[in-house]
């Protein structure tokens, strides 16, 4: 009965139900495959109940989070009373267990349309698809998010402040849709190999692969934008293992999409596509293993610590690895192939060559990310820095851009080569102009200039073709070319913003303008917290061309963790982004810092370079006459005589303590050489006076703000390029969905 008291029942029951229904559905589909057609409705119902259980399970967790039910460990770990509602929901995927659950949720939901799309291959495709769900199911049953605490805390630990950002609400869920979709090509490929019929799967898997590519691409874009916009890391991509773990499947997806395209149009690369579909899913499981098992805990900013699930992750990955090998070894030799008779300068050859480049990128990133694992068995494990990826990708980008230039005007048979120079001439001209402009802007590196030329030529030749096709009224067929335009734009953006960014660390004194390049920066003031708006700095930026604006970067200490958090201010213009990231703020000290002396008659006190001796009370302020004056005017000046010695000169001063009505005034008496003295109290009983001194010896310290000022030229092109790539993908999905629907029509007629 330990289980009952330690688990939140509604949640624990639904997760077990999901496992049981998934097993039942798998059994049903296996019966269908053995020839028992009646089992089909059982299998379908099983799947529906599996999906329902997962939905309910997610709903229970969501409800617990919304109700702030701190009895549940997961809720207590990732949420707190002070969290606004949308972060309360986002806490769902803040931890290991919850993120596995949302992954499973998308997987279960994607299976519903997949069942219909699989058509008459339903039993085999859904059978394999269910197998992919078990990896997550087993982990969730083992690492149940519904474990209850023995004592209910009054408040939860709260969400990590770094994650308290609006992007946290949307970025991870989208990422997990992409991961869940990666299982679909594998399901089609395994099913095809299992049936021994590898003719149809490519058509059916094509739109799903494109869809997964789109979603994952969108998630990567959002992640990059999040890192750039709010995390204050100064960039959109850091080659961190967790980032790479999402990039590798995306790149393999690109290769698979092109392979499927060739298979559909030329009936080629049929074997390779089966391999790629397996690799796509394996790369997701491998990435999950790397980032979730704790093997990279020392190397990554956002790697999870080990929950003791490494073995499960290995088992999961190993199952699909071995399964893929066995199926491929058995079936690949039976897949019919065609002898490649295309000439070298032809469309097919260029598509293959450019996808090889993308594949190489995936391989290199896999090796780089695995460095800590690969070197683990050597003497000293290590990791590779971002410069490795940056350097290795320069030649890859050059070759890729080169290959993309002629691609839109090549034919399958390699004919019409004579007209090629004429068709490409405008693009080369645009490329030359861009290169000239880059050189004029100060780009000197010959490789960078070459890359500018090739990327610009590639984007304009592909744009040229997209427009041509669009004019003929078949824009849906131009998806590929449009994506390649985006690739060219992205290459330019990445090159300009990463190789030609300028960064400077500057310390600004309050109200003192400082020139940095062609800008004049003035730190105006510190703005304290106003409600939900965190502490901000007001910095005036004036550029030489007359533009003037206020920047408000944020710098605050998180209340719970006492961690210093910085949110940069980014000024975006078409040509460049100006990024002001606060690093450190020193409040300084105001000029009138007070020093207090309490002196007896005849005593001397020292403040800074000043010696003060209390000589005597002013005789005129005591006695009968003074009392009479007080009662007549309601005002009495109590004076003291002090001797002030500074730099060898001695001065006598009479500071005043003035009684007015019921109150007291202490007017300042200025000191020679700067500063002032105030008489702020007297004690007739022991004959002491209290003297306050201001502005003595202590130089006033102005407030100082240290900032990181970064200029990133053309960084907008990175985002725009990716938007164009994704828009091209959307067109291609439209085109391929139509084709996929026709498969069953053809088969049934």
Partner 1 sequence: MKKKRIYYALGAVLLLVFAGFSFSEFKESLTPYVPYEVALESQRTVQVAGGLAQGSSAYDTEDQFLRFTLVDQETAQTLRVRYHGVKPANFEDAVSIVAIGRYDAAASEFAADKLLVKCPSKYQGIEDTETKTYS
CA distances from 343 to 85, 347, 348, 462, 718 (A): 61, 9, 9, 22, 35
364 binds partner 1 (CB under 8 A): yes
> Which of 589, 595, 588, 612 has the alpha carbon at shortest distance from 696?
595
CA distances from 545 to 509, 517, 541, 548 (A): 24, 12, 12, 9
Nearer to partner 1, 302 or 334 (CB): 302
Between CA 408 and CA 559 the distance in angstroms is: 56
Interface residue with partner 1 among 234, 414, 605, 702 (CB under 8 A) is: 234
Q: Which long-range contacts (CB under 8 A, 24 or more apart) does 234-237 make?
A: 234/503, 234/568, 234/579, 234/581, 234/708, 234/710, 235/498, 236/715, 236/718
Nearer to partner 1, 375 or 690 (CB): 375
Q: Shortest gap between Cβ of 381 and partner 1 (angstroms)? A: 6
222 binds partner 1 (CB under 8 A): no
Interface residue with partner 1 among 42, 388, 526, 630 (CB under 8 A) is: 388
Q: Shortest gap between Cβ of 129 and partner 1 (angstroms)? A: 29
Q: Shortest gap between Cβ of 660 and partner 1 (angstroms)? A: 45
Interface residue with partner 1 among 10, 323, 381, 697 (CB under 8 A) is: 381
Given a contact cutoff of 8 angstroms between Cβ atoms, the answer to whether 604 and 611 are in contact is: yes
Interface residue with partner 1 among 27, 49, 167, 233 (CB under 8 A) is: 233
| Stretch (H or E) spanning 318 | helix 310-331
639 binds partner 1 (CB under 8 A): no
Between CA 127 and CA 186 the distance in angstroms is: 12
505 binds partner 1 (CB under 8 A): yes
Q: Six-digit token pair at 530?
A: 């106003």
Interface residue with partner 1 among 237, 261, 523, 678 (CB under 8 A) is: 237
Q: Phi and psi for 544 in degrees, rounded to 5?
A: -65, -25
Q: Shortest gap between Cβ of 745 and partner 1 (angstroms)? A: 39
Q: Six-digit token pair at 327?
A: 């199926």
Q: Shortest gap between Cβ of 16 and partner 1 (angstroms)? A: 24
Between CA 349 and CA 343 the distance in angstroms is: 8
Q: What is the DSSP letter of 375?
A: T
CB atoms within 10 A of CB 239: 19
223 binds partner 1 (CB under 8 A): no
**Residue 707-736 contact track with partner 1, rule CB under 8 A, x = bound:** -x----------------------------
Binding segment for partner 1 among 180-188, 482-490, 562-570, 605-613 (CB under 8 A)? 562-570
CB atoms within 10 A of CB 289: 21
CB atoms within 10 A of CB 728: 23
151 binds partner 1 (CB under 8 A): no
165 binds partner 1 (CB under 8 A): no
311 binds partner 1 (CB under 8 A): no
96 binds partner 1 (CB under 8 A): yes
Between CA 168 and CA 119 the distance in angstroms is: 37
Q: Shortest gap between Cβ of 626 and partner 1 (angstroms)? A: 53
Between CA 440 and CA 33 the distance in angstroms is: 67
Interface residue with partner 1 among 42, 706, 737, 741 (CB under 8 A) is: 706
**Residue 576-615 contact track with partner 1, rule CB under 8 A, x = bound:** -------xx-x-----------------------------
Give DSSP secondary structure letters for 481-515.
HHHHHHHHHHHHHHHHHHHS-EEEEEEEEBT--EE
Nearer to partner 1, 432 or 564 (CB): 564
Given a contact cutoff of 8 angstroms between Cβ atoms, the answer to whether 582 and 705 are in contact is: yes
**Residue 291-310 contact track with partner 1, rule CB under 8 A, x = bound:** -------x--xx-xx-----
Between CA 113 and CA 666 the distance in angstroms is: 82
Q: Shortest gap between Cβ of 232 and partner 1 (angstroms)? A: 10
Q: Six-digit token pair at 292?
A: 């979730």
Q: Phi and psi for 638 in degrees, rounded to 5?
A: -100, 115
Q: Phi and psi for 503 in degrees, rounded to 5?
A: -135, 140
Binding segment for partner 1 among 158-166, 257-265, 320-328, 479-487 (CB under 8 A)? 158-166
Q: Shortest gap between Cβ of 556 and partner 1 (angstroms)? A: 11
Interface residue with partner 1 among 30, 411, 498, 666 (CB under 8 A) is: 498
Nearer to partner 1, 258 or 465 (CB): 258
Q: Six-digit token pair at 217?
A: 């691409």
Residue numbers 244-283 binding partner 1 by CB under 8 A: none
Between CA 743 and CA 425 the distance in angstroms is: 41
Q: Shortest gap between Cβ of 309 and partner 1 (angstroms)? A: 13
Binding segment for partner 1 among 36-44, 322-330, 386-394, 435-443 (CB under 8 A)? 386-394
With 0-12 CB in 10 A as exposed, 13-18 as middle and 19+ as buried, what is 182? buried
Interface residue with partner 1 among 196, 382, 528, 700 (CB under 8 A) is: 382
Q: Shortest gap between Cβ of 230 and partner 1 (angstroms)? A: 14
Nearer to partner 1, 533 or 563 (CB): 563
Between CA 456 and CA 684 the distance in angstroms is: 88
218 binds partner 1 (CB under 8 A): no
Binding segment for partner 1 among 54-62, 132-140, 275-283, 370-378 (CB under 8 A)? 370-378
Residue with tokens 């690739």: 487
447 binds partner 1 (CB under 8 A): no
Q: What is the DSSP letter of 92?
A: G
Q: Shortest gap between Cβ of 275 and partner 1 (angstroms)? A: 18
**Residue 191-210 contact track with partner 1, rule CB under 8 A, x = bound:** --------------------
Chain residues that interact with partner 1, rule: CB under 8 A: 77, 94-96, 157, 160, 162-163, 227, 233-239, 298, 301-302, 304-305, 343-344, 353, 360, 364, 367-368, 371, 375, 378-388, 390-392, 395-396, 498, 505, 561-564, 583-584, 586, 706, 708
């Amino acid at each position: 009965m330990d289980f009952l008291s330690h688990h939140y029942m509604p949640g624990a029951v639904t997760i077990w139900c999901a496992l049981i229904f998934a097993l039942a559905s798998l059994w049903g589909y296996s019966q269908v495959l053995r020839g028992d057609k009646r089992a089909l409705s059982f299998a379908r119902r099983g799947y529906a109940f599996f999906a329902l259980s997962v939905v309910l399970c997610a709903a229970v967790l969501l409800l617990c989070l919304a109700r702030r039910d701190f009895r549940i460990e997961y809720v207590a770990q990732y949420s707190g009373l002070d969290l606004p509602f949308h972060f309360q929901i986002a806490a769902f995927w803040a931890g290991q267990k919850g993120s596995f659950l949302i992954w499973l949720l998308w997987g279960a939901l994607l299976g519903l349309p997949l069942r219909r799309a699989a058509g008459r291959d339903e039993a085999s495709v859904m059978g394999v698809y269910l197998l992919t769900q078990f990896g997550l199911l087993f982990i969730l049953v083992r690492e149940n998010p519904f474990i209850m605490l023995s004592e209910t805390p009054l408040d939860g630990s709260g969400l990590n402040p770094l994650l308290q950002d609006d992007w946290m609400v949307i970025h991870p869920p989208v990422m997990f849709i992409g991961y869940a979709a990666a299982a679909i090509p594998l399901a089609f490929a395994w099913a095809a190999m299992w049936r021994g019929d590898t003719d149809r799967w490519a058509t059916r898997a094509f739109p799903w692969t494109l869809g997964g590519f789109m979603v994952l691409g969108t998630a990567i874009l959002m992640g990059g934008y999040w890192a750039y916009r709010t995390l204050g890391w100064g960039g959109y991509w850091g080659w961190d293992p967790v980032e790479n773990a999402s990039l590798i499947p995306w790149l393999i997806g690109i290769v698979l999409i092109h392979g499927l395209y060739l298979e559909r149009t030329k009936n080629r690369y049929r074997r390779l596509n089966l391999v790629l579909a397996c690799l796509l899913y394996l790369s997701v499981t491998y990435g999950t293993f790397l980032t979730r098992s704790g093997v990279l805990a020392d190397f990554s900013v956002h790697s999870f610590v080990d929950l003791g699930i490494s073995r499960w992750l290995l088992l999961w990955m190993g199952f699909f690895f071995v399964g893929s090998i066995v199926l491929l070894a058995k079936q690949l030799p039976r897949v019919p192939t065609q002898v490649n008779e295309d000439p070298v300068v032809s469309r097919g050859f260029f598509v293959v060559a450019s996808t090889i480049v993308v594949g190489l990128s995936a391989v290199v990133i896999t090796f780089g990310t695995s460095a800590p694992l690969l070197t683990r068995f050597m003497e000293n494990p290590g990791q590779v820095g971002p410069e490795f990826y940056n350097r290795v990708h320069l030649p890859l980008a050059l070759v890729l851009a080169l290959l993309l230039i002629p691609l839109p005007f090549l034919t399958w048979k390699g004919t019409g080569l004579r007209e090629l120079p004429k068709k490409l001439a405008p693009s080369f001209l645009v490329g030359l102009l861009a290169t000239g402009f880059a050189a004029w802007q100060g780009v000197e590196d010959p490789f960078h200039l070459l890359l500018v030329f090739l990327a610009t030529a590639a984007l304009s030749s592909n744009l040229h073709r997209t427009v041509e096709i669009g004019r003929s009224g078949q824009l849906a067929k131009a998806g590929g070319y449009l994506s390649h335009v985006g690739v060219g734009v992205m290459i330019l953006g990445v090159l300009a913003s990463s190789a030609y960014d300028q960064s400077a660390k500057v310390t600004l004194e309050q109200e003192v303008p400082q020139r940095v390049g062609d800008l004049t920066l003035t730190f105006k003031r510190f703005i304290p917290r106003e409600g939900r708006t965190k502490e901000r700095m007001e910095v005036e930026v004036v550029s030489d061309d007359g533009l003037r604006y206020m920047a408000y970067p944020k710098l605050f200490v998180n209340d719970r963790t006492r961690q210093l958090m910085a949110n940069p201010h980014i000024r975006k213009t078409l040509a460049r982004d100006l990024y002001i990231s606060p690093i450190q703020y020193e409040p300084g000290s105001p000029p009138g810092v007070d020093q207090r002396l309490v002196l007896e008659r005849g005593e001397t006190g020292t403040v800074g370079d000043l010696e003060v001796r209390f000589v005597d009370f002013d005789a005129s302020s005591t006695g009968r006459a003074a009392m009479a004056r007080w009662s007549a005017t309601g005002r009495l000046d109590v004076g003291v005589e002090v001797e002030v010695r500074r730099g060898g000169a001695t001065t006598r001063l009479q500071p005043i303590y003035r009684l007015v009505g019921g109150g007291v005034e202490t007017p300042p008496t200025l000191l020679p050489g700067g500063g002032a003295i105030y008489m702020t109290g007297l004690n007739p009983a022991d004959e002491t006076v209290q003297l306050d001194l201001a502005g003595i010896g202590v130089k006033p310290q102005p407030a100082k703000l240290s900032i990181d000022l970064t200029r990133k030229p053309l960084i907008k092109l990175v985002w725009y390029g990716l938007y164009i790539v994704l828009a091209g993908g959307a067109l291609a999905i439209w085109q391929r969905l139509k084709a996929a629907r026709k498969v069953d029509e053809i088969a049934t007629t």
